[in-house]
Amino acid sequence: MSASALKPGALGEVTSAKRLHYLNWSYTVRDWLLTLDHKRIAILYLVSISVMFALGGWAAAMIRIELTSPHGHILENDTYNKIFTMHGVLMVFFFLVPSIPATLGNFVLPLMLGARDLAFPKLNLLSWYFYMAGAALTLYAIISGGVDTGWTFYTPYSSVYSNSNVVLALVGIFLAGFSSIFTGINFIVTIHKMRAPGLTWFRLPLFVWATYAVSVVIVLGTPVVAITLLLVVAERLWNIGIFNPVLGGDPILFQHLFWFYSHPAVYIMILPSFGVISEVIACFSRKRVFGYSFVAFSSLAIGVFGFLVWGHHMFITGQSMYTGIVFSVLSFLVAIPSAIKVFNWTATVYKGTVWFTAPMLYAMGFIGLFTVGGLTGLFLASLAVDVHLNQTYFVVAHFHYVMVGGAMMGYFAGLHFWWPKITGRMYPEFWAKLAAGITFIGFNLTFFPQFIVGYLGMPRRYHNYPSEFQVWHIMSSAGASVLAVGVLIPGIYFLYSLKYGPRAGSNPWGASGLEWMTQSPPIKDNFDEPPVVTWEAYNYEDEVVEETVRDQAAGLEVQRELIGHTPPVTDESKRTDTRPGIPRNE
């Protein structure tokens, strides 16, 4: 790597002259709504999914308040069904699925590849409009009467018997699915065709590998659920016997089609977080990711295995014992690629010069929560145990440990990591660390009691429950209050930082990667000159990188004072420089 290659990403570039960038080159509403800039489209997605996240969180709060009493005092039975359906639909289809790919992926993927934009900018903008159309239809369905089927829309209740706005909600989800397909196609083509010269496949950041894997899953899996939802709409509107057993249909067929997509959808939600965590851990451990190729290929393996395990959702539907055994074995096998990632992340941190910033704390929280979620998934993959635990709060807790504890913590880790690049501003580090800690504690207080109450036999989705379960629900609801505080704090200081945050340099973390070699915020076309890559990924051990970091000591010290970071100080005998605050690259 040449020393000059890192100059645009200088740590000390805190007080650089004002330049035009993607945020200030134009301010009109028309230019934002018709923009073809991937960075602005990422901001549009960020605002949109934040609104959906807030609405889904409000529904979750109503559920937890209602369940503090065995008989409920706030919501009627039908209203409760509509509220938990609203929570599931908004969180799964309009927050978790698009959260990292549509926001962080849209923003940093072209930067990581050294490209000016995505391959199809107009298709990228169209994907956001499809997302907004789907969100508008779904919200209208919720406001104008609601949907009471649950987010899984099981037939024949959803296709025949429900009196709620099922069709509107399904069309909204259908449109959101096409938004994901457009994004996936765009990412695949961009990664194949628009990499910078010298950026070979095994020089790609692991976030790019994870994004590529999830894009393939989206493109292959989403059409299946889209067609399935259209079949439900057709049966509901024209009384066709597809899933209705009265007319010769098969309701189990719906479950096969739905879970063939929806279990890979779990990896659509979690795979991007895997990529984020790899970036964060490498940066703040100052080391190349241990077993880079294994971590990269494990992302592809998860995508493949994800399509082979849908039947473990259907152990109690009457499928044959032999079919159940096959799906059980495959479900155990799919844990291996995920375990490879966790072990390799741990090995990366081992003997690294660890810098406990807010993104690193979120990454550590992710590893802990995802590990619990993954291990409890093995219980549900076991035929005999699943018979007892299926449809209980144990499943709810497992799902949230993977999705919220995993996908959401990964999303917040990435948002904190790339926020200086996105906005050109630093957030208050103390409050960010506090938010990470509160979120981790609040999450465990919320969902760990649900493992216990589920094991004791409490069914999920029930409005009324026996009084012996009340103490666990009160504990869970109290934990949800703590979790809500942990999630709200970042929203406050992120908004605060937009105006009052200290200016970030091009590379405030001393990170490796092309996205840190342009100014913050990036210019409209990303780079002044097309970059040429001559180094390996995560080259924190590279002597030139180490020398550059040392040469930029003064700039790092300035930023440390501005943002409250204290980079790790290693043993004096091992230091590469005697000046304070320089992370040693091992």
Q: What is the CATH number of the domain that holds 93?
A: 1.20.210.10
- Segment holding 409, helix H or strand E: helix 409-423
> Distance between CA 167 and CA 509 in Å, rounded?
48
Confidence bin at 89 (pLDDT 50/70/90): very high
In this predicted structure, the answer to whether residue 209 has a pLDDT above a threshold of 50 is yes
121: number of CA atoms within 13 Å, CB side? Answer: 12
pLDDT of 16 reads 41
Residue 207 corresponds to which amino acid? F
17 within some domain: no
Confidence bin at 543 (pLDDT 50/70/90): very low
Residue 303 corresponds to which amino acid? G
153 within some domain: yes
What tens digit of pLDDT does each residue of 126-176 get? 999 999 999 999 999 999 999 999 999 999 999 999 999 999 999 999 999
Structure tokens belonging to residue 208: 């790019």
242 within some domain: yes
pLDDT of 505 reads 86
pLDDT of 73 reads 82
What tens digit of pLDDT does each residue of 264-290 get? 888 899 999 999 999 999 999 999 999
Distance of CA 490 to the CA centre of its chain: 16
Average pLDDT over residues 62-66: 95
> What residues contact 384, with CB distance under 8 A and at least 6 apart?
none
**Between 285 and 9, residue with greater pLDDT:** 285
Of the listed ranges 82-91, 423-432, 503-512, the one predicted with least confidence: 503-512
Structure tokens belonging to residue 420: 């200086």
- 165 within 8 A of 145, measured Cβ to Cβ: yes
403 within some domain: yes
Angle CA(407)–CA(409)–CA(411) in degrees, nearest 5?
A: 65
Length of the chain (residues): 586
Which residue bears the tokens 């913050």? 520
pLDDT of 541 reads 72
pLDDT of 549 reads 42
> What residues contact 31, with CB distance under 8 A and at least 6 apart?
none
Q: Where are the alpha helices (DSSP H) in 34-116?
A: 38-66, 77-91, 106-113
pLDDT of 425 reads 93
In this predicted structure, the answer to whether residue 442 has a pLDDT above a threshold of 70 is yes
In this predicted structure, the answer to whether residue 496 has a pLDDT above a threshold of 70 is yes
| Mean pLDDT estimate for the chain | 88
> Distance between CA 307 and CA 80 in Å, rounded?
33
Average pLDDT over residues 530-551: 69
pLDDT of 15 reads 40
Highest mean pLDDT among 1-5, 48-52, 315-319, 462-466: 48-52
Handedness of CA 311, 316, 322, 327 (dihedral sign): positive
375 within some domain: yes
pLDDT of 553 reads 34
pLDDT of 14 reads 41
Residue-wise DSSP of 110-161: HHHHT-SS-S-HHHHHHHHHHHHHHHHHHHHHHHTT---STTTT-TTIIIII
Residue 360 burial class via C-beta count within 10 angstroms: exposed 0-12, middle 13-18, buried 19 and up: buried
569 within some domain: no
398 within some domain: yes
> Distance between CA 528 and CA 538 in Å, rounded?
23
548 within some domain: no
Distance of CA 290 to the CA centre of its chain: 23
| DSSP 8-state symbol, 4 | G
Q: Which structural domain, as residue segments, surrounds residue 442?
A: 32-540
pLDDT of 530 reads 87
> What residues contact 404, with CB distance under 8 A and at least 6 apart?
443, 447
Number of domains in the chain: 1
Maximum C-alpha span of the chain: 80
In this predicted structure, the answer to whether residue 586 has a pLDDT above a threshold of 90 is no
> Distance between CA 496 and CA 500 in Å, rounded?
6
In this predicted structure, the answer to whether residue 528 has a pLDDT above a threshold of 70 is yes
> What residues contact 385, with CB distance under 8 A and at least 6 apart?
379
